Amino acid sequence: MAREIKLSGSEIALLKTIGLGGTQVAGRMLIDRAEDMVAAEFLDTLTGLIDQGYVLSNKVNLRLIGDVERAFLRVNPAFSRDLRDAVNPERKRAAQRGPRVRRS
């Protein structure tokens, strides 16, 4: 059963930065990749995704940038398919339409 997930632009950008494949990303690397985000926005978005259960971390409290640097993060595998559909809605629409039928 597919869940309908609504994401903001910063959440989509952060999920793409982490990667939807389920592999772990070091927090220091994540901060380097998301250099265009302001630190407060980055922390707010990341803690929101963790609170919703979409992102898993090996650290419990990520309140400061220093905490994120020492953490390892990954997308929750239980939500990965639904998050892929939420990040790329065109993929979901194409799957719903099905294959084209040629008429003669």
102 within a domain of the structure (yes/no): no
87 Cβ neighbours under 8 A, 6+ residues apart: 7, 12, 15, 16, 20
- The confidence score (pLDDT) of residue 48 equals 94
Domain around 66: 9-88
96 within a domain of the structure (yes/no): no
Phi and psi, residue 86, nearest 5° = -70, -35
Tell me what the mean pLDDT of segment 64-78 comes to: 94
AA identity, residue 103: R
**Taking all residues of the chain, what is their mean pLDDT, rounded to a whole number?**
87
79 within a domain of the structure (yes/no): yes
34 within a domain of the structure (yes/no): yes
15 within a domain of the structure (yes/no): yes
- The 10s digit of each residue's pLDDT in 25-63 is 999 999 999 888 899 999 999 999 999 999 999 998 899
Tell me what the mean pLDDT of segment 1-22 comes to: 86
Q: In total, how many domains does the chain have? A: 1
- The confidence score (pLDDT) of residue 101 equals 75
4 within a domain of the structure (yes/no): no
80 within a domain of the structure (yes/no): yes
- The confidence score (pLDDT) of residue 24 equals 94
